[in-house]
Amino acid sequence: MTTAVCPGSFDPITLGHLDIVRRARALFDDVVVGVARNASKSALLSVDERVALARAAVADAGLDGVRVEVVPGLLVDFCREIGAGAVVKGLRGGADFDAELPMALMNRHLAGVETVFVAGDAALLHVASSLVKDIARYGGPVDDLVPPGVGDAVRAALARVQGSSR
């Protein structure tokens, strides 16, 4: 059985993420959506919220053979722990490739884990978690960019943040 990890912060999970997970599942027997804690990013949603939203999205999409787990530290250590030989990353354009290539090379250097790059669906190339949060922050519509329930969770998290900053 071949196992691959689709890692990310998923803050929040988007339809673009689900597209990549769906296509990874077509390539690998077992796919793990690895919800990472990224020290260089300040997350809006807690790890538990991101995991719950990703699990609901995977279930709603009917993606059998896909599970969601937390990546507690280095991605390569997580890959070793679960027996994954590959990482699957979606690319929206050249900037994504420029950011992802050094990480892919380091993962291979550290643990022999290969990275498979999947071109994002052209209809979703404009969708990014950071843009979803920015649009929602100003009251714009995001529900057509994210799986069911995610827009509500983002709006609730933004209300908590805004309420605590008063």
Question: Which residues carry out catalysis?
Answer: 17, 41, 92, 129
Q: Are 62 and 34 in contact (CB under 8 A)?
A: no
* Beta carbons within 10 angstroms of residue 44's beta carbon: 22
Look at residue 39 and give its three-state secondary structure.
Answer: coil
Identify the helix (H) or strand (E) that includes residue 4.
strand 3-8
Phi then psi for 41, rounded to 5 degrees? -120, 145
